[in-house]
């Protein structure tokens, strides 16, 4: 018999060592819809329940930071009707979930080139960030209009501007200087990266930040993802030997 979410959570708490920061590539909405002869927008709508499951599971397990990959820069190339549906879904998400997120102590931040969003979607972003600003239980980052190469390029440009303006000595340009100019500078790098739908690629997501993250790939399509799958990923993480390039310590 498959263990319940409560049983898995109990094991997580006994074993200890919960990842501080979990990042998730939420993949499979389109395939979920296609298997049911539904429009892709129905898959995105169904995926919202998985977002809720993941957030609630992270709060229960004691995860401090959750970063979700919701909409990439490459996604702007999708059909206009799908993009419009996604922007509408963002607005609906704010209306339906803002109060719940605030109640759970989640603080939402949207990361990416937000200027590309529609005015209504941008207003929704500002609303949910404002309404959840006091949250301390979970930092919830939602990557919208996001691409990691663009993020790194932006950080390099900010470094160059600081050097040109005399605010930064070129000799002080190092990894920490670049990292401090990334969207995620306020949080530690992800300990665990989860990707649904069985694909084994990063899709231009947090390329700098996941340098030493543990990867967990599940065949489950995102709309079917539950906190059971989340807890299984955390247990998988707890079994890993994280050496960060060092040799293991002698017993």
Dmax (CA) of the chain:
64
Both tokens assigned to 177: 């200087």
d(C-alpha 52, C-alpha 58), whole Å: 10
Q: Which of 37, 75, 169, 189 is catalytic?
A: 75
Is 82 buried (19+), middle (13-18) or exposed (0-12) by CB count in 10 A?
middle
Q: By the 8 A CB rule, do 86 and 71 touch? A: yes
CA dihedral 62, 64, 65, 68 (to 10 degrees): 20
Q: Which three-class secondary structure state does DSSP give residue 1?
A: coil
27 noted as active-site residue: yes
Q: Has 29 been annotated as catalytic?
A: no
170 within 8 A of 164, measured Cβ to Cβ: no
Q: Which of 27, 189, 191, 224 is catalytic?
A: 27
Show which residues are catalytic: 27, 75
């Amino acid at each position: 018999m498959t263990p319940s979410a409560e049983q898995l959570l109990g094991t997580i708490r006994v074993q200890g060592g919960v990842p501080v920061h979990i990042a998730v590539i939420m993949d499979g909405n389109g395939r979920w819809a296609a298997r049911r002869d539904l429009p892709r927008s129905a898959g995105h709508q169904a995926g919202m329940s998985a977002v809720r499951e993941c957030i609630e599971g992270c709060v229960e397990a004691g995860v401090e930071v959750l970063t979700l990959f919701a909409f990439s820069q490459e996604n702007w190339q999708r059909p206009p009707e799908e993009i419009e549906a996604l922007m509408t879904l963002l607005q609906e998400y704010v209306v339906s979930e803002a109060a719940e997120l605030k109640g759970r102590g989640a603080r939402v931040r949207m990361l990416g080139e937000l200027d590309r969003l529609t005015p209504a979607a941008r207003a929704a972003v500002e609303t949910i960030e404002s309404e959840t600003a006091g949250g301390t239980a979970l930092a919830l980052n939602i990557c919208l209009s996001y691409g990691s190469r663009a993020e790194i390029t932006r950080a390099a440009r900010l470094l160059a501007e600081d050097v040109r303006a005399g605010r930064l000595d070129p000799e002080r340009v190092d990894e920490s200087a670049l990292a401090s100019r990334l969207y995620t500078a306020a949080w530690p790098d992800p300990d665990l990266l989860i990707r649904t739908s069985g694909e084994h690629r990063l899709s231009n997501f947090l390329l700098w930040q996941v340098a030493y993250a543990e990867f967990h790939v599940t065949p489950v399509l995102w709309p079917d993802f539950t906190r059971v799958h989340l807890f299984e990923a955390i247990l998988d993480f707890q079994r890993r030997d994280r050496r960060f390039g060092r040799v293991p310590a002698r017993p």
